[in-house]
Amino acid sequence: MRSSSARARTIKSSWLAGSALALCLTAISGGAACAADEAPVKIDPENPDYGVRVEELVVTGAAGAISVAPSKASLAATQPQSIIDRKTIDQFVPATGDYNQVINLTPSLSGVSFSGPGLGESKTVLRGFKDGEYNITYDGIPWGDANGPTHHSTSFFPSSTVGAVVVDRGPGEAGQLGVASFGGSVNMFSPEVSDTRGGSQSVTAGSWNTWMSVTKLSSGEIEQLNNTKILLNLQELKTDGALTYNSAKAYNQLIRAVVPLAGSWKLTLLGTWNYTQVYTNDSAGATLTQVALYGKNFALNNDPKTPNYYKYNNVTKHTYFNYARLTGDVTDSLKLENTVYSYYYKNDTESALDATLSPADIAASKGLQITYTPGGKPTVNGHIPGYTKLNVYKIYGDILHLNQIVPFGEIKAGLWWEKADTGPRARYDYDATLGHGAAGWTPDYRQKVLAGVPQYLEYLQYSGWDQYEPFVDVVWNATDKLTITPGVKYVSEKLSVDADVNQKSRLPYHGSKTFTKTLTFLTANYKIADNMSAYAQYATGFLLPDISTTQAVNPNLNELHPQESTNYQAGVVYHGGKLTFDADAYYIDFTNKLQTTTVGTETVNFNLGGATYKGVEGAVTYAALDNLFLFANGSLNEAKAQGASTTILGVPVTVVGGKQIAGAPKSTAALGGLYRNEEWSISLADKFVGEQWAAEGEPSAYRIKPYSSLDLTVVYNLGRYRLEAAVYNLLDSQQATSIKPGKTVPYDQYYFQPERNFQVSAKVNF
């Protein structure tokens, strides 16, 4: 019998699907057949205001190399950037993919989805900045976790809900928002709403028993509702996953409506709901012993005598993301945009304590000890220890933009306000072997005894932030060719933790701190010719500590300072008929790096040293023939730690400098070709990621060799029908792409490229 939550999901999905069908039938009965799919979002390469969506994204018909370039930059750019439109996503990105597969097409970005494209969580690295050190936005709204600005790639926006992506490799101007601006921004945009009634139905099948369907329905302009336009997007996915016993299912529903009000004023409404369930350990990864025994795709199994038993490891997530945006002209020269938004995340996890245990460990009962008497000694009973984890947060805010045209250019001012409420965040230890019986979970009393704290409770925590950022950019058209934009932004962020049982320490902590900083920006764009420009940028960045800095016996939050960056960048952009290219060089000074050390039994967080990032990047597309286009992009990236030393609680602490920081590839590249005519579209693309290390100091045991993935995609278009067949990782490279150090070397966890895989899709527009 299905649970009430499962029935509710079915009812919601059926109701939305029924509403969508009714909408389309109503359109048909109105005298026009459903004809075309929704309009693809195309970022106008000439339009500098793609990031501040005061008006709907501009749809343009570019021609030549720029029209097919997988990665391109705007002639109005003021910092290094890469634009990826929907046509590129449809051609190069797996239908099941998420935004990380999309942005991997661009320079200086790297990351792998270990369970297959979009079939499991993945993270990307930008110029050596890891996830959480750069912003991700959706329709101009920054989003991320409330316990730190990291992201869950499968929890909010599958690829069918992404109309275009712009990667900004830098803090941008003052109006570019987010709490982690010093690493840059990944800016996603929702699908455009078509003026035409219609829709599409697509079905995808692929390796690992993967199935996905996407239904899109567009109302066109509804005359009875003042020409309101509505788009519905419904996605369902099921897969066994590339990793063993790593099956998953996911459902996403999106609705977007554009409502004309009066004159230039209009209201845009968007709501998206997401449900995912996957069998995975909370700390997934395979040891070399496990790899030798079971292969590089090992994750879970069907043996309840091991911690890798799939039924011990289950993650369920529910999310939503909603906004209402009002835009219009206050006067002929003053435009207003105001966005009210909220988003929600709930993670219910059941996990075995340690998935790295080998058969020998299990035979010796290491780690398989349960204490049934509070305060007593652990006894070996052969059972598997586990835990349940709950993480819930809700974030809501408001973004105001005011753009005033003035004789010398434009003044762009505004205010971003946001509040985050997290809680509960909780973790309880239990006996995974016995599981959840009629009497509930059987507790595991492995924690040390603390007065007034249940011994099976690891933490119970509430936290949040209150932040506001007023900003102003002054766009000065110094000449008809030169635009200079100084800007300033004031950041005020109050971080608070309210925990009776704090994470790690299990002691109470109730505290807060407000971090403030004035950030300055200066950008310039010079139009060398109608199709060529150069730009330069100076900008400062800011990243406050997250709640992990309070997870110590004696938190020293008041002693900590934000991490800061100073960015210097310059580049050039060229759009020709047969050739388009962009190139840049950058230098970033990153200071006040948060470090952690243990002195005796005390964990201490402190600011020390930082890193220096520098490199060159570029992208080029060439029309070799009328229907054949060749492209390449790449980067050389140096991200080296700065040496420093200090004394913490009387103990000397030294950071070794001159070494590439952990997880930062020294280079990236993409190379390929695209053949396209009215019926066929064939692409071959190879993504290369250079040498990196999984631990600080470049230790040889943690060197990750360069790796690449070659993808082939063939698309056939016949009228309103579209057929696609693709092979990903064509050469079946299965190299290690990441290593997570364990308690000792035998318990290090390795992550590998998924094996060669395929997908076939069929789509019909109606």
Task: For residues 607 and 341, give the distance between their C-alpha atoms in angstroms, rounded to a whole number.
Answer: 34
φ, ψ (nearest 5 deg) of residue 30: -75, -5
Q: Cβ(666)–Cβ(635) under 8 Å?
A: no
Spell out a b/e string for 346-379, using b for 16 or more CB atoms within 10 Å of the CB, else e: ebebbbbbbbbbbeebbeeeebbbbbeeeeeeee
At residue 405, the pLDDT reads 97
Number of other residues whose CB lies within 10 A of the CB of residue 264? 14
Distance (Å) of CA 368 to CA 183, 299, 444: 42, 19, 11
Residue spans of the domains in the chain: they are 65-765
Most confident of 42-51, 330-339, 425-434, 537-546: 330-339
Number of C-beta neighbours around residue 327 at 10 A = 21
Encoded tokens for 524 = 């310039």
The share of the chain scoring above pLDDT 90, in percent, equals 70
pLDDT band at 283 (very low <50, low <70, confident <90, very high): confident
Structure tokens at 315: 């993650």
Q: Does residue 31 carry a pLDDT above 90?
A: no
Neighbouring-strand partners of residue 765: 200
Residue 454 exposed, middle or buried by CB count within 10 Å (0-12, 13-18, 19+): middle
Beta-bridge partners for 427: 389, 459
Which of 98, 120, 112, 93 lies closest to 240 in space, CA to CA? 120
Q: pLDDT tens digits for 467-498?
A: 999 999 999 999 999 999 999 999 999 999 99
Q: Parallel, antiparallel, or unpaired: how do β-strands 440-441 and 436-437 relate?
A: antiparallel
Instruction: Write down the pLDDT at residue 369.
Output: 59
Q: Rounded to a whole number, what is the distance in angstroms from the first to the last CA of the chain? A: 37
pLDDT band with cut points at 50, 70 and 90 for residue 366: low
Q: Quick: pLDDT tens for 697-736.
A: 999 999 999 999 999 999 999 999 999 999 999 999 999 9
Q: Is 641 helix (H, G, I), strand (E, B) or coil?
A: strand
pLDDT digits (tens, 9 = 90+) for 518-572: 999 999 999 999 999 999 999 999 888 888 888 888 887 788 888 899 999 999 9
Is the pLDDT assigned to residue 21 strictly greater than 60?
Answer: no
Q: Read off the pLDDT of each residue in 641-657 and give the average, rounded to a whole number.
A: 81
Residue 580's CB is within 10 A of a number of other CB atoms, namely 28
Q: Identify which has the larger pLDDT, 350 or 3.
A: 350
Quickly list DSSP for 131-151. TTSSEEEETTEE---SSSS--
**Residue (of 761, 748, 763, 765) closest to 291 by Cα position:** 748
Which structure tokens are listed for 48? 């500098």
CA-closest candidate to residue 621, choices 657, 579, 652, 658: 579
**Structure confidence at residue 39 (pLDDT):** 52
Which of 97-101, 180-184, 355-359 comes out lowest in average pLDDT? Answer: 355-359
pLDDT at 14 over 50: no
Residue 480 CA: distances (Å) to CA of 16, 45, 296, 409, 485: 51, 18, 58, 11, 14
Give, as one character, the DSSP assignment of residue 753: P
Report how far residue 180's alpha carbon sits from residue 96's, in angstroms, rounded to the nearest whole number. Answer: 28
The partner residues of 573 in beta bridges, in order of sequence, read 533, 582
Please name which of 306, 246, 240, 252 lies closest in space to residue 279, comparing C-alpha atoms: 246
Q: What is the CA radius of gyration of the chain?
A: 26
pLDDT of residue 446: 81
Overall residue count recorded for the chain in this entry:
766
Q: What is the pLDDT of residues 296-342, one digit of tens each?
A: 999 999 999 899 999 999 999 999 999 999 999 999 999 999 999 99
For 55-79, write each residue's pLDDT tens digit. 333 333 456 788 889 999 999 999 9
pLDDT at 164 over 60: yes
| Residue of 247, 371, 220 lying closest to 314 (CA atoms) | 247
Residue 182 binned pLDDT confidence (cut-offs 50, 70, 90): confident
Tell which wins on pLDDT, 97 or 6.
97
Q: From CA 632, how far away is CA 579, in angstroms rounded?
A: 12
Give me the pLDDT at residue 23, please.
Answer: 37
Name the pLDDT band for 27 (thresholds 50, 70, 90).
Answer: very low
State how far the Cα of 571 lies from the Cα of 535, in Å rounded to an integer.
5
Torsion, Cα 230 231 232 235, to 10 degrees, reads -170
Distance (Å, whole) CA 331 – CA 527: 30
SS3 assignment for 189-231: ECCCCCCCCEEEEEEEEECCCEEEEEEEEECCCEHHHCCEEEE
Neighbour-count burial of 719, counting CB atoms closer than 10 A to its CB (0-12 exposed, 13-18 middle, 19+ buried):
exposed
- Distances in whole angstroms, Cα of residue 379 to Cα of each of 356, 386, 671: 21, 15, 58
For position 148, what pLDDT does the model report? 82
Q: Read off φ and ψ for residue 18, nearest 5 degrees.
A: -65, -40
Q: Which of 427-436, 503-512, 716-725 has the highest mean pLDDT?
A: 716-725
| 424 prior amide bond cis, ω within 30 | yes
pLDDT of residue 365: 64
- Does the pLDDT at position 94 exceed 50? yes
State the pLDDT confidence band at 22, using cuts at 50, 70 and 90: very low
Q: What helix, strand, coil percent values describe the chain, rounded to 5?
A: 10, 50, 40
What's the pLDDT score for residue 559? 81
The pLDDT value recorded for residue 62 is 55
Strands 229-239 and 248-260: antiparallel
DSSP assigned state of 51: S
Where are the strands (E) in 261-353, listed by range?
266-278, 314-329, 334-352
Q: Is the dihedral of CA 82, 88, 92, 95 positive or negative?
A: positive
pLDDT at 652: 82
Average pLDDT value over all residues in the chain: 88
- What does the pLDDT read at residue 412? 97
- DSSP-derived 3-state class of residue 261: coil
The CATH number of the domain covering residues in 65-765: 2.40.170.20
- Least confident range of 45-49, 152-156, 191-195, 582-586: 45-49
Helix (H, G, I), strand (E, B) or coil at 6: helix
The pLDDT tens digits of the residues spanning 368-393 come to 556 666 777 767 777 888 999 999 99
Contact 265, 328 (CB under 8 A): yes
506 class by beta-carbon count within 10 Å (0-12 exposed, 13-18 middle, 19+ buried): buried
